[in-house]
Homo-oligomer: A and B are copies of this chain.
Amino acid sequence: MGDVMKVAFIGLGNMGLPMAINLVRAGEQVYGYDLSPAALRELALAGGIPCDSARQAVDGAEAVISMLPASRHVHSLYCHPDGVLNFVARGSILIDCSTISPATSRQASKIAEECGLDMIDAPVSGGTQSAQAGTLTFMIGSTIEQLARAQPLLEKMGKRVVHAGSSGAGQTAKLCNNMLLGILMLANSEAIQLGIANGLDPKTLCDITNNSSGANCALKTNNPCPGVDPMAASSRDYTGGFAVDLMLKDLGLAIETSLQSGTSAALGSLARNLFALHSAAGNGERDFGSVFDLYGRRLA
């Protein structure tokens, strides 16, 4: 990797922009594209090259990285007969970091393969802060060879790269983890509110649970009860964390995947519906720990 690489970066949002800038800082030539002129300006300021279209960005690129909001954007970028794949040089590697449905990931990868291109799914965990700090975790769906090719680039944007399995497996692993996380947050809220309603001090209860069989990462690092953990989003009015609507999106993907694969996910489905009610009540942009409020008021 001594040589400078030409990298196309499609999607310069809250996550994509800092990731692209980290590549610039690591010495790569980054050709970026986004619908937002402001994002393109930011990239240029950081030393990247703004492009007028995805097609222009991928022209001559050795690697194409995409970070897009939803399955339909990825589908429209890669899966249309007249999409960018026609303009990507054979031998390039495509890395999709978007969180989308495993089915769309597999479909895009298959189409890429038919074009003689390697495409891997590499969704991230860690929010905008990790994107800026370059400390993201990537969950990869690919062959071992594809992973080896992508790894040097990924390490310039994150600190951990885990191989989940073949194409689509990165997405699936992320959805499984985030479905769990969504359930945990609701479950923690229910348990703490049950304790409070019965006279327990929430700090004491969480101390006990953190050292018992109910212990979980969400309780330890993202306690939903204001005041228990001064560092948690709940202690700053649920600002600056992982937004309800992002959790809702991931739960929606998990349930869609569950429907498609004929499995059942009773708790996951209920979690999705409760976050949907919570979002519809106006809480979409707050930290997802704010579901604590949903359980918060007691009956008379």
Contacts and interface: CB of A to CB of B under 8 A. Distances in A.
Contacts of A252: 259
Interface residues of A, number: 88
Contacts of A271: 267
Contacts of A198: 102, 168-169, 172, 257, 261
Contacts of A218: 213
B273 A197 contact: no
Contacts of A125: 212-213
A92 to B, nearest CB: 26
A1 interface: no
A272 B269 contact: yes
B284 A262 contact: no
A178 B191 CA distance: 9
A208 interface: yes
Interface of A: 102, 125, 137, 139, 162-166, 168-169, 172-173, 175-181, 183-184, 186-188, 190-195, 197-201, 204-205, 207-209, 211-218, 221-222, 245, 248, 252, 254-259, 261-274, 276-277, 279-282, 284, 294-300
Given A165-B200, A255-B259, 7 more contacts: A176-B195, A187-B187, A190-B267, A190-B268, A256-B256, A261-B298, A264-B295
